[in-house]
Structure 1
Amino acid sequence: MAEVKLKAVLRTDFGKGAARRTRRDNKVPAVVYGHGADPKHVALDGHALMMALKTPNVLISLDVEGKKELVIPKAVQREALRGFLVHVDFLAVKRGEKVTVEVPIHTEGELAPGGNLLEHILGALPVEAEATHIPEGVTVSIEGLEAGHTVRAGDIPLPRGTSLAVEDDAAVLQVVAAQTEAPTEEEAAAEEEAAEAAAEEGAAAEEAAETPAAEG
């Protein structure tokens, strides 16, 4: 994974008001922590950071007023409606250091015919990898899988140097049977009318059977 170089400035003002002022300047407030050091409160260019975060678990070479360190994003807060960045937590890492992250799960292939559905039980796969070699994702083949099949964490091939950070038998994906669509209100009313008519016809036939025929 290539490093993305970003610059940051130290923040000395804190609180909601200070954060709003930072965002008005098109910057994103963030904090850098890890390795037992005191957290650093910084601000980064909003557009540059947004582009960097398009890559999951991106490795960033962060220049904080001339002092450089490697970091990865650990928590990203976004505005609920418009999705713009509100705050980012960065974890300081070192080359050769193992970190635990969640990587995206991609699928390839087609399920067996029948209109079945693929359910993602885990939205991402927890793995442990070297900080400078975090995989961008893992790929799972679902070719020909039928209803009832479960893909477990141990079934997923991992890149070299990456290991699971979850139990092997943890369910990741599951194929569920297609469900019959519920009838519309018109269809339900028609079925009810048909049932009532059938019941009336049955009652009339029963009554006719019980009535003795007139003597000639």
Structure 2
Amino acid sequence: MKTIALSGTRRDTTGKRLTKQTRKEGRIPGVVYHNAEATSVEFDAKELRPVLYTAETFIVNLDIQGEKMDAIVRGADFHPVTEAPLHIEFLKVTDDKPVIFELPVEMVGTPAGVIKGGRLTIKMRKVKVKGIPAKSPEKVSVDVSHLDLGETAKLSAATVEGIEFITPPSAAVATVIIPRALRSAKEAAKNE
């Protein structure tokens, strides 16, 4: 899995007024969770962009005032109108304890149904998995080249070593949709 470095500072005081002031200064408040502990931190909004605005999952090498740790993004809150980040949560990870996290899904191949005029519709962009992030792959690859018109690829078609799927294996990952024009042409051919 890819890694990225991020530095932040501890927040000793919290509260609504201080949090608003922090955001006005271009910093984003956050929390780093480890077991039952929660450490309040803040980060520069510009430094968070590569972590927040991507489909990839990273191991983040956090440096909180000299204390270094590996973490993954557990969640983030955004403003409903401006979509500016409001808060971020990290989960500290170790090499011996598996955690639940999300991995992006990659479609491999060109479906046979798309060649015939269908349209590939992606149903799932990320899947929940359980494992050790340092030993997990960067993404889950699903082969869709065998899909014909109207067929669906399930998560069970993906084989990834070292992780366990939390998302049900029967979940649909992608479907080849039959366009209306093609459907009408097939119906007209049947009626003749």
Cα RMSD after superposing both structures: 2.3
> Within 2, Cα distance between the matches of 1:109 and 1:56?
20
| Residue pairs, 1:155-194, within 5 angstroms | 155-158=157-160, 160-180=161-181
Does the 8 Å contact 2:8/2:43 carry over to 1? yes
User: How much does 1:81 deviate?
Assistant: 4.2
TM-score by length of 1: 0.72
Does the 8 Å contact 2:70/2:92 carry over to 1? yes
Structure with the greater relative contact order (CA < 8 A, sep ≥ 6): 1 or 2? 2
Which one of the candidate residues 102, 110, 119 is aligned to 2:121?
119
User: How much does 1:15 deviate?
Assistant: 3.2
Structure 2 alignment gaps of length 5 or more:
183-192
| Residue pairs, 1:77-88, within 5 angstroms | 77-88=77-88
User: How much does 1:141 deviate?
Assistant: 2.4
Structure 1 alignment gaps of length 5 or more:
182-216
> Within 2, Cα distance between the matches of 1:2 and 1:144?
30
Letter in 1 for 2:162: G
**Aligned residues: percent identity?**
24
> Does 2:44 correspond to 1:42?
no
> Within 1, Cα distance between the matches of 2:119 and 2:18?
47
| Residue pairs, 1:1-216, within 5 angstroms | 1-37=1-37, 39-53=38-52, 54=54, 56-111=56-111, 112=113, 113-158=115-160, 160-180=161-181
Letter in 1 for 2:72: I
More strand by share: 2
Length, aligned pairs only: 179
> Within 2, Cα distance between the matches of 1:83 and 1:50?
12
